[in-house]
Structure 1
């Protein structure tokens, strides 16, 4: 399996270079080879410690990267704290009380600054950390294009409007991803990130009590964790993939085929719609999923990066310089 993943990843990187968005020509996996040669080992070490301490952290950092890129591009805006002069994105409805892992990025950034002061952006550290979190949980690895710079601003309004909801329909998801230059295959592949991590009852209570496209026994067990129906257990956690929540594989898609999707938006990817065939392919073929996930991650990481003299290299990921 490992050899197969390496082959499909190599192919995916080649494909991604063709599919990359316009600004990506400015990004390169070798961007810091001369200015910060220890960067990748520092990030890997930091993520290894974090994931060994709590395997769920791999999923949390991956989600941070997604929530960054979908709001005005991959510019580390999601890492900014609120201040007297800036309203960040951490308290937007899709992020409040659910995004986590900021301290992990802070710790890695501190080590990178000690080795290469004022050189590496928080946006690039987050991109690398997301990749390493996936790989440390038995997923693929890939060469991350680098050279992003950090924004000085954030947009809570954009976070509220751009990030898909757990209750989204398939059509809404396709439209949201298309607006970022990502197609239906990218949508399904990136949704496969839910093969790791957990979700709060607040995100799926309505599904387990009200949806019909759900395995009855599965719904009953999840209701027991999310009682009462009126709320009160919002923070209770359930694995997104009951088969293997700390192993990055294609179990998520096999769950969907069996109507075991935890979120409404998950099950929408196998509910009689246009993307069913992609979900079914990934359920059968983990290698195809790994290949397409890498391609989609590179494309997503290329959404509107700040490069050149735009933005800045923050010394502290939580605030502008």
Structure 2
């Protein structure tokens, strides 16, 4: 319950101040400010060394309480095959996409953990579809919905009505790369005013360009004094650093092939009530192609902390004057 209380302050600030400036950027997943090309989920028979530790991804969408029109969850390239996906042998992967709402969809603690134990498929199943290799959906959109916002789980501490999208690799060993969009329309991407996405464990593909920098944006509430980050299968591809009002590039531990690594980082008062910009910078000496990464954060209580589809309060900048005493 401490995690829910921690998130409450953040989300009320978020919904009250931020969306005026960032409504469009908040709708796609990965978001524009994240500069991440695709999400990734492998088939259930995949090898973890290809960059997926448990073959499942969970994304949450928050719809404002006062929004009453239907919403749609759209998936770009939901099938596994053809152009943007990662092939291993024959295309044989089966992906299931499931949308949940109602009581427990997000409030169930098992849905907000780093593993798949317990009741992570909590809530009411609203829609589900299985995809195999199918040229019809290659680099095309598939739409779930319409959903009435009230079909989500009402959690004011998370900004309104919450829907959960679970992407699972049921069979096969290929990598499914895809993108999402929360929309007011079923046949095109139109942002839902005031809505946003958040995620507790994030799995994605880095760019195949050494000059591209990807970002994720956790928010530090006033009770956070330390974070522990965990990342998987970074492939020693450059470095990960934090930019914040008090940190000018503090390095996080980064993992090797098929390995987990963890590091702990103190959070100062100057970083409270602001986002961190966790930057993923590829090494320039040799391109690591098709690098899939898993990452999550915990607070000092061991509770997972959400990443948001836009940086709450804007992209943070280092304030070099912090801690500098004026000359006498």
- Higher helix share goes to which structure? 1
- Higher strand share goes to which structure? 2
Q: TM-score, normalised by structure 1?
A: 0.31
